[in-house]
Amino acid sequence: MARKLFAEFFGTFWLCFAVLGTAMMAAGFPTVGVGFIGVGFAAGLAVLTMAYAVGGISGGHFNPAVSLGLAIAGRFDWKDLIPYWIAQIVGGAVAAVVVYWIASGAPGFTAGGFAANGYGDLSPGKYSLLSCLVIEIVLTGMFLIVILGATSKSAPAGFAPIAIGLALFVIHLIGIPVSNASVNPARSIASAIFATTGAWSQIWLFIVGPLAGGALGGLIWRTLLSPGETPANIGQVK
């Protein structure tokens, strides 16, 4: 179990380090940077690389919403849910500390939003609370369906990390203008730690939304797309 938790810690660390690091240090550097498309690439590539690196150890969740969705879909043991959540949240928080430490070495550094998620005045496009809640639920739900389908035994072997990484890239293209794209409570908590814009007061939405979306995606897969699936017959149900 310890190896699984370390894998989740390092996988979530790398994902959050990639997203926060790119957003804080590369998105607009120095006047023209990689922009939000670059942040989306960073997220997708981080998940892709860590899924290949440690996915065989822990399953490569790196996200509390993914762990919940997999448990609901029958792919993950409920007794391991809380330990996974702790490892993921700690991994994200440590990544935030490292990014802050590095970024604060630049002259004139201010934490600002620290790539935090938000609605209303804290939304990149000033989208409403309801808009941000809906997009977080929909994007996370679809992310779970991609994960469950790509890792099914009926899917081509060895390509799941590519599909999952590309899905996360697309999610960021859609979600960044609206909510700054969470779909991951560990990532949202990590960025809110150092944000100076009041992001912490809105953190509930970026915990509830992704968890609800993950649960919905797992339920849709289990009841509609692969009814009767169990850990023993993954991909064999017709």
d(CA 157, CA 1): 25
What's the pLDDT at 236?
Answer: 47
Report CA-CA distances (Å) from 95 to 44, 59, 139, 168.
17, 20, 23, 19
- Rg, C-alpha atoms of the chain: 17
pLDDT of 228: 61
What is the model's pLDDT at position 218?
Answer: 97
pLDDT bucket at 237, cuts 50 / 70 / 90:
very low
Sign of CA dihedral 118, 135, 138, 134: positive
CA 101 to CA 11: how far, in whole Å? 20
For 104-173, the DSSP string reads TTSTT---TTTT---SGGGSTT---HHHHHHHHHHHHHHHHHHHHHHTSTTSPTT-HHHHHHHHHHHHHH
Q: Which tens digit of pLDDT belongs to each residue from 64-94?
A: 999 999 999 999 999 999 999 999 999 999 9
Q: Which domains does the chain have, with CATH numbers?
A: 2-225 (1.20.1080.10)
Token pair for 69? 């969705």
How far apart CA 91 and CA 71 sit, in angstroms, is 21
Residue-wise pLDDT tens digits, 180-218: 999 999 999 999 999 999 999 999 999 999 999 999 999
Q: What are phi and psi of 196, to 5 degrees?
A: -110, 20
Q: What is the pLDDT of residue 235?
A: 47
Average pLDDT, the chain: 92
- CA end-to-end span of the chain, whole Å? 32
Residue 2: its pLDDT value, please? Answer: 96
pLDDT band at 34 (very low <50, low <70, confident <90, very high): confident
pTM score, whole prediction = 0.92
Min mean pLDDT across 27-31, 108-112, 140-144 is at 27-31
List the one residue out of 192, 52, 40, 72 whose CA is nearest residue 122.
Answer: 192
Q: Using CA atoms of 177, 180, 182, 185 in order, give the dihedral in degrees to the nearest 10.
A: -150
What percent of the chain has a predicted confidence (pLDDT) above 70?
Answer: 93
The answer to whether the CB of 146 falls within 8 A of the CB of 222 is no
